[in-house]
Amino acid sequence: MMRQYELVERVKRYNPATNEALLNRAYVYAMRAHGTQKRASGDPFFAHPLEVAALLTDLHLDDATIVAAVLHDTVEDTAATLDEIRGIFGDEIGALVDGLTKLKRLDLVSKRAVQGENFRKLLLAVAEDVRVLLVKLADRTHNMRTLHFMPPEKRTRIAEETLDIYAPLAGRMGIQEMRDELEDLSFRVLKPEVYATIAKRLEDLSAKSSNVIESIEHDLTARLAAQGLTAQVKGRLKRPYSIWSKMERKSVAFEQLSDIVGFRVIVGTLAECYAALGVVHTSWPMVPGRYKDYISTPKQNDYRSIHTTVIGPKQRRVELQIRTAAMDEIAEYGIAAHALYKEGSESGEVHPRLGTESGAYQWLRRTIELLAEGDSPEEFLEHTKLELFQDQVFCFTPKGRLIALPRGATPIDFAYAVHTDIGNSAVGAKINGRLSPLLHELANGDEVEIACSDGAAPPAAWESLVVTGKARAAIRRATRAAVRRQYAGLGRQILDRAFERAGKSFSDEKLRGALPRLARASTEDVFAAVGRGEMFSGDVVKAVYPDFKDERRAGGPAANGAAGRLTRSGDQTMRLTFSGDGSSQGPIPIRGLAGDLPVSFAPNGGALPGDRIVGILTPGIGVTIYPIQSAALAAFDNEPERWLDVRWDVEDSNERFPARIALESMNEPGTLAQIAQVIAEHDGNIDNVSMKRRTQDFTDIAIDLSVPDLKHLTAIVADLRGKRSVSRVERING
């Protein structure tokens, strides 16, 4: 375990002006707080925060971040309090520890909805101070180094989320060395046999190639020196995960890879980068298509370097990266090396609190802005992963604006990257002055011009064809808006006819006055609800004209004694009775039929007043009522003669109807009691509960309940979604 003076010495190596007293105070405080706690490995728990702090000293971070790393587990795992830490170490360190404590309570489990929601929380937690994320990444790196002490099933889960979230996030922050280590450690756990095979091949290759690597280093250094360039040339083998990824991506064998060895050329100035490139290309032939200039067009995480591949000595392919020492520092330490923590920056945006920002931090804030777009957690996670994983191509607008896009991007992605309105109205594209399909894959340096039409709308099929998260999210929103407009148009037509049949005048102004009684925010919401069948047109008429009585709904010989009624247009009336599902017995008049038949509700969810419903006639059994959205109705698509067009007529009834909801909840004391209380508060009654523990932290719950109508069920679902202990809840339709 690192000693107190060793921590101070590590920081003083890069920051001679460090506050030694502050570091010593943090060391002693955390050591006393953790006391005799042990890790799964049997080591003192206090060793973990010290190792996290050591990792951050390698990134040359400031005193506040180092101290926060030493203290990051105290509030969650010891008797220490946040107020106490703020009082001893100040508000800045207190805020960092608070952010880290909140992040520790997140568990990015593999379930997409939960993972997406927690990833949103993670990014929001680091939005105010990116140092929180840097400590979290160092924390995950040390945990991965000691992962072999954990149970096998936990190892797999942690490795998957590390590879899915933390490794690419480290890459986006520009901390490439940390990303490489996280990928390799995860790879070793998830594919141990493949990892061992590749590692052994690399070990053998290293033994054979050591002289070759040294020879190329000396040869290249001498050639550069002959042209007056002082350079540091370093060669090394690539890591196992990087090699495996390339083998998978290109479907090639290990023997077919030609750039397993990479060389880094460090020179003094930007001009010397291009001078060194000239020496390399005039000494050895360049491999076509393997040249990338990330100096003139840096990556979004501020990475700058020239990449090229040449046919070097002994006809070996040699991959080279040429950069200055300052560029190498950013490539190594990422956002931690940027002027966010140092003075004297000459470029970048200005943050109202933090000052000059790096491109990596700008990306982080742009990603967080997507949270305001209203997408579901799954969608947010999906398109953020797209942003994290994809390499980039750089294209230009006709006016010269540079647009960075993921590999495989199309003009549609380009259009949405310029502006959402341009994407929504795109109808064609010109690439480098020539007409091209909207699905053409863009290449580096393409100039793209988008043709737009005011009346255009993006087809829903585009969603599966684009590769950027912004484009997918915008297409989904546009599609939902178009469907809503269609339902609203249909609903308006239905209401026009309903008011005409009632002999009442109808206008948007009158409908606006009835919105509180209909529990809708706008007239457009009412039209869409009627069009979707969620709201009965007669209810709208009655909301606008409270004294109106629908004779068709009030009539029928059995109307007075019905516990619940389902009506259908027609001349004759028949009496149907409830059966099954715990529903009370009572007559249901349906016009247009003759005879008596029992009525039951669909299994696995039932149907509620407020649902648009249909009846399915089964000879000798009766009529089963299904909500129109029930997937079970697909089984009757080829039997139209069995379908009955029915609707609800249950005003002033105390009848209750069956429904089913599915929840995903945290394993915390009192969670089930909270759920039961919400259902009771909204006049619901629980009939049956089944629970299945899916992971150590989450349980799947299915609840059968009875409620008066859809409005009550919707209120229950909305209230449950607001509970911290409930991560997902949805209605199940049989």
Residue 12 CB neighbours (<10 A): 14
The secondary structure of 314-356, three-state, reads HHCEEEEEEEEHHHHHHHHHHHHHCCCCCCCCCCCCEECCCEE
Whether the Cβ atoms of residue 94 and residue 28 lie closer than 8 Å to each other: no
Q: How far is residue 460's CA from residue 472's CA, in Å, rounded to a whole number?
A: 10
Helical segments of 251-300, H only: 270-283
Q: 392-396 and 402-406 as β-strands: parallel, antiparallel, unpaired?
A: antiparallel
Provide the residue count of the chain: 734
332 to 59, 177, 264: CA distances (angstroms): 8, 6, 12
CA-nearest of 730, 723, 657, 722 to 700 is 730
CA-nearest of 136, 150, 144 to 163 is 144
Q: Which entry of 20, 76, 683, 697 is annotated as an active-site residue?
A: 76
Place of tokens 């339709």: 733
Q: How far is residue 518's CA from residue 496's CA, in Å, rounded to a whole number?
A: 17
3-class secondary structure, 557 = coil
3-class secondary structure, 91 = helix
The secondary structure of 50-69, three-state, reads HHHHHHHHHCCCCHHHHHHH
C-alpha torsion angle, residues 205, 209, 210, 214 (rounded to 10): -150
Tokens of 544: 């606008």
Q: How far is residue 496's CA from residue 642's CA, in Å, rounded to a whole number?
A: 30
3-class secondary structure, 357 = coil
C-alpha torsion angle, residues 552, 556, 560, 564 (rounded to 10): -70
Task: Tell me whether residue 76 is one of the annotated catalytic residues.
Answer: yes
Tokens of 495: 């209401």
245 to 18, 238, 385: CA distances (angstroms): 41, 11, 17
Q: Which entry of 77, 84, 378, 382 is annotated as an active-site residue?
A: 77
Q: How far is CA 241 from the centre of its chain?
A: 24
Q: How far is residue 580's CA from residue 304's CA, in Å, rounded to a whole number?
A: 70
Amino acid (one-letter) located at 78: T
Annotate 13-31 with DSSP letters as a single string: HH-TT--HHHHHHHHHHHH
Annotated catalytic residues are: 76-77
